[in-house]
Amino acid sequence: MGAWLPQEIIRRKRDGAVLSAEEIGAFIEGVTRSSVSDAQIAALAMAVCWRGMSTDECVALTLAMRDSGRVLDWCEAGLAGPVVDKHSTGGVGDTVSLVLAPMLAACGAFVPMISGRGLGHTGGTLDKLESIPGYSSTPPIALLRRVVCEAGVAIIGQTDELAPADRRLYAVRDMTATVESIPLIVASILSKKLAAGLDALVMDVKFGSGAFMRGFDQAQRLAETLVEVGSGAGLPTVALLTDMDQPLAPCAGNAIEVRAALDYLAGRARPARLDEVTRALGSTLLLQVRLAVTEDEARCRLDEALRSGQAAERFARMVKGLGGPGDLFERTDHYLERAPIVRAVPVPERVRVPNHRRVARIDTRALGLAVLELGGGRRRAEDRIDHAVGLSELAPLGAVLDPGAHLGLVHARSEQAARTAIAAVQAAYTLSDTTQLVGAPSAIAGRVTPAHPTGKGS
């Protein structure tokens, strides 16, 4: 670390000083080389959580974390289009990555998507994909590059070679109540995206009962920081603010969401909110990299990717290229496990009267925790996931429940687990005393660009 002592860097940030890029770079180098202890990482993380960081500091931290490992360069691959990605801050029923990435590939982009595992009540894209037998979520860099070149898309996890300092920092933050720090969130996300060698990034920043940032103002602050720091680090970034006061798709669970993605790509079912967010994020990226000139053109290109079957074909090529079956669409039931017990969630007895039938509120976080309790998520990093369990056919906000209707279906490994999940889902729903239909709010609540933040709260 040369002349920069880690304890002095910690002290300066603790006292409210603005750290130089050299100080931040030296500290991250120490993290990577293990000359900085976990205690010192925790101390700096808490100082940042308390004192915050300027944009310049956050850019320096992001770039130092990017440079702690390998940075992919796609120039030598001779790709025929731009390299792009999308990232979500986490939600319930958020299947966007599984469908958007192959849609973008079918539109001429290349998508090396580095995704994460489930965290708390939110589902993880990698956990979903690992419900596909043989799928390699952490391939060697050479295989990643080959699949991106051949299929146009590869959705993988963070490898040991990409932004290794982030992995160590995050492990310490997770144990020291500093996960929520916006500068640390931003550096963690963007360092991995920058390491992937992207030309453009779109962020899906969520707010509401199922999001980590529940308040719109807090989510917008995160979105603005992501856009500012991403742009400052040389990565053109746009963020959409999206509502997570209900699941994005009417289901949650790993294999269940993969089935939903296959249905979406094949045209069998495209839930309205999932479709709205997917197309909004996709058109934003196509416009960023000039694969479309207007919003209408971008949406037409995405529609053609679906209509022609090219998006489904790209997904199938990705799965096969990363070790999964080549006939997943044709033999879905053969490959994706189903839970042995499926039970409907009845409307609770106390509200089974005609004037208590409209869904007025959903505790989306509670639904995510119900999936976790079924075994579909992790309490600890070493826990094994049951890919078959989860929820489906979830009633949306505003739904009027006719006599005999249910709130959803529980997919469980045992009758006891099913009973527990049914009670949790019932508790997550608030039903109103009117059957009057109301218009569902748009899932897109705002947009942040480098120069022009827009949306409510702006």
CA 232, chain centre distance (Å): 23
Q: Where are the domains of the chain?
A: 6-52, 75-159+192-333+450-455, 338-432
Strand 200-207 with 237-243, pairing: parallel
Catalytic option among 13, 62, 68, 85: 85
- Give the helix/strand (H/E) hosting 391: strand 390-392
Q: What is the pLDDT of residues 39-97, one digit of tens each?
A: 999 999 999 999 999 999 999 999 999 999 999 999 888 898 999 999 998 889 999 99
Alpha-carbon 425 to chain mean position: 23
Whole-angstrom distance, CA of residue 51 vs CA of residue 378: 31
For this structure, is 86 an active site residue? yes
Which token pair is 72? 């992919």
What CATH number should be reported for the domain whose range is 6-52? 1.20.970.10
Residue among 193, 273, 314, 358 flagged as catalytic:
193
Inter-residue contact 286 to 292 (CB < 8 Å): yes
β-strand partners of 287: none
Q: Residue 32: enclosing H or E segment and its boundaries? A: helix 21-33
Choosing from 117, 167, 192, 411, the catalytic residue is 192
Query: For residue range 348-399, what is the model confidence (pLDDT) as tens digits?
Result: 876 555 555 789 999 999 999 999 999 998 776 667 899 999 999 999 999 9
- Amino acid of residue 261: A
| Residues whose CB is less than 8 angstroms from the CB of residue 269 and which lie 6 or more positions away in sequence, other chains included | 260, 263
Is there a catalytic annotation at residue 430? no
- Is 35 tagged catalytic? no
DSSP assignment letter at 291: S
Give the integer Cα–Cα distance in Å for 263 and 265: 6
Q: Report the alpha-carbon angle 250-269-256, nearest 5.
A: 50
Distance CA 141, CA 149 (A): 12
Active site residue 209: no
Q: Given 3.90.1150.10, 3.30.930.10, 3.40.50.720, 3.40.1030.10, which CATH number is that of 75-159+192-333+450-455?
A: 3.40.1030.10
97 counts as catalytic: no
Query: In sequence order, what are the residues at sequence separation of 6 or more whose Cβ sits closer than 8 angstroms to the Cβ of residue 156?
Result: 112, 113, 114, 115, 126, 136, 137, 138, 139, 144, 322
DSSP code, position 119: B
The catalytic position among 13, 51, 87, 387 is: 87
Percent of the chain with pLDDT over 70: 93
Is 13 among the catalytic positions? Answer: no
- Topology, domain 338-432: Aldehyde Oxidoreductase; domain 3 (3.90.1170)
The string of pLDDT tens digits covering residues 204-243 is: 999 999 888 889 999 999 999 999 999 999 999 999 999 9
Among 95, 125, 231, 284, the one annotated catalytic = 125
**Residue 83: strand pairing partners:** 110
Q: Which of 173, 270, 358, 447 is catalytic?
A: 173
Q: Which of 13, 51, 86, 117 is catalytic?
A: 86
pTM value is 0.90
Averaged pLDDT, 320-345: 97
Establish how many alpha carbons lie within 13 A of residue 232's alpha carbon, considering only the half-sphere containing its beta carbon. 20
Residue 121 annotated in active site:
no
Between the CA of residue 297 and those of 282, 287, 288, 294, 306, what are the distances in Å? 12, 9, 13, 5, 14
